[in-house]
Amino acid sequence: MFSKNTTWAIGGGILFAILLSLLGWFLFIRGQNNDLTRASAGRGFGTNIPIFDNANGGSTNQNIRDALLSGFGIFSRDSNEPDAEIENALPRLWNPSSVPVAGITLIGTSTDAKIQFVERPSGNIFEAYLKDGDVTRISNTLVPNVYRAFWGKDTRLVLQHLDENGEIATLIGSIEKMSTSTEESVGEFSGSYLEPDIVSVATSRERNDIFYIVKTIHGSVGIQINPENATQKRIFTSHVFGWRSVVVNGGTILLFQNPSQGIEGNAFLLKNNGDKTILKNNVRGLIASISRNEAHTLYNEIVQGRISLFSKIEDAPERQLSLTTLAEKCVFNPKNTSVVYCAVPRAIPEAQIPDAWYRGEIHFSDDWWIIDTENGTVEQLLSPESDYGITLDVVDPYINEEGTHIVFIDAKTRTPWVLRVVQ
């Protein structure tokens, strides 16, 4: 019916049309992918999302490598440390991850000392030994948007995130190795949820007990649970909800009201049996901290923009310290509790402090100082801004039992940092 030429022409035309369609589809898909890539990058994808190359790797390792390549090397193992003998040592100020975290802690002693941190986007848990600094993911269980993390005894962890209603959800559990796993394999965070609306959590690395304050219709209730034997007891009640709780030692919890500039605050020491004694009462802008042996207290009075820091050693008269900082930026040297390490703002912005700081509206650039509260002398330990050209606003500092390292979070970026105290 058709000539051979006609058949070839029609066939060629169809083939050409198909190829043209495929080319158009390819170009369309590529364009869409580019849009998606740009949109994803705008949301922070690619830089902050873990990219799981293998079981032990992850975004954090990649971030460290990126940091090395991007001039961030002063915080890497290749940093120019003055002590040539510390060949494998980490830099004195180390940023183990550029991903925001929910918390960081120090575990173990001496050569087994390591850090653990929880990535905020994924809830994945990472650790790194201080002897080599290799960051390893130890849990790949997805817990999105983790805002706070608290470490208990052994591998127990408490994670807090927001549920679909924007309410605080609190997950308690521990890291369990896969049954078929090897020593290096990734574990799984397994746990269960506590009641909603837990506004404060305090954990102890020495005891199984975990303390938390939960909102109820009758006020706030402080509950101490022991996950080991599944017991719980109510040891605190209050009509107000805004409490900060910190484990001082195995038997005592420091409680103080959420502070505000010029507003009276009260601080208490709560025993495991529910006995409560007042530590400071009716102090305006009160922020309190106490040493593990309960002998040394640091506290702030903040009135009309003036931040005063006081030290009290047992029954001795109080002493106003010469440095201006918030007591929650300080940690006591566990070997000598009269020695305190404080992150001290280089300058205090004109703002309602601490309120504006808690709202994330202002940030400080802190230097680390050593304070001897026995005689009030101070000495600068390290200045991130002067020494390294970076600004760090310290929150949640924690010092290890040996007093050799302090971990903290930078409030502005929520990234984790490790400071070696000794030179």
Partner 1 sequence: MPYVARAQLALPEIASPISFIVTPNNPGPEEKVTVRIESYSIDLDRATIDWFVNGRLFDRGNGLKTIDIETGRIGTETTVSVVVRPDAITEIFEQIAIRPMYVSILWEADTYTPPFYQGRALPSSNADILVEAYQYMTYPNGSVIPDDDFVFTWKKNGAILRDISGRGRTKARIAGPLLFGEDIISVEVVSVDNRYKGESRVRIAAVEPHISLYTDDPLLGIMFHRALLETDQIPIADITLAAIPFYMSIKNLLDRNISYEWNVNGQTIPTDPRDPFRIILRLSEGLIANALVSLSISHVDHFLQSTNASWSLLLSSAIGAPQRDPFFRSTN
Tell me if residue 383 falls in helix, strand or coil.
coil
Q: Does 319 help bind partner 1 (rule: CB under 8 A)?
A: no
For residues 346 and 359, which CB has a smaller minimum distance to partner 1 in the complex?
A: 359
Q: Does 148 help bind partner 1 (rule: CB under 8 A)?
A: yes
One-letter identity of residue 180: T
Q: For residues 389 and 71, what is the distance between their CA atoms, to the nearest angstrom?
A: 12
Range in contact with partner 1 (rule: CB under 8 A) among 43-51, 175-183, 294-302, 341-349: 43-51
Alpha-helix residue ranges (DSSP H) falling in 219-376? 355-358
Q: For residues 368 and 194, what is the distance between their CA atoms, to the nearest angstrom?
A: 37
| 11, 12, 46, 219: residue in contact with partner 1 (rule CB under 8 A) | 219
| 239, 314, 350, 375: residue in contact with partner 1 (rule CB under 8 A) | 239
For residues 177 and 363, which CB has a smaller minimum distance to partner 1 in the complex?
A: 363
Range in contact with partner 1 (rule: CB under 8 A) among 73-81, 305-313, 370-378, 409-417: 409-417
Nearest alpha carbon to residue 291 among 319, 330, 325: 330
Query: The dihedral of CA 230, 236, 240, 246: what is its sign?
Result: negative
For residues 48 and 337, which CB has a smaller minimum distance to partner 1 in the complex?
A: 48
Q: Does 52 help bind partner 1 (rule: CB under 8 A)?
A: no
| 242, 251, 334, 403: residue in contact with partner 1 (rule CB under 8 A) | 242
Q: Does 301 help bind partner 1 (rule: CB under 8 A)?
A: no
DSSP at 221: E
| 62, 140, 204, 260: residue in contact with partner 1 (rule CB under 8 A) | 260
Q: Does 411 help bind partner 1 (rule: CB under 8 A)?
A: yes
Tell me if residue 251 falls in helix, strand or coil.
coil
Q: How far is the CB of 186 from partner 1 (least distance, A)?
A: 20
Q: How far is the CB of 71 from partner 1 (least distance, A)?
A: 19
Q: Which two tokens stand for residue 74?
A: 């002063």
- What residue ranges in 204-275 does DSSP mark as E strands? 210-216, 219-226, 231-238, 243-249, 252-257, 264-271
Q: For residues 25 and 169, what is the distance between their CA atoms, to the nearest angstrom?
A: 45
Strand arrangement of the beta sheet that strand 276-284 belongs to? 243-249, 252-257, 264-271, 276-284
Q: Which residues bind partner 1 (CB under 8 A)?
A: 38-39, 41-45, 48-49, 100, 120-121, 144-145, 147-148, 160-162, 165-168, 219, 238-242, 244, 257-260, 263-266, 277-278, 281-282, 354-355, 358-361, 363, 411-412, 414
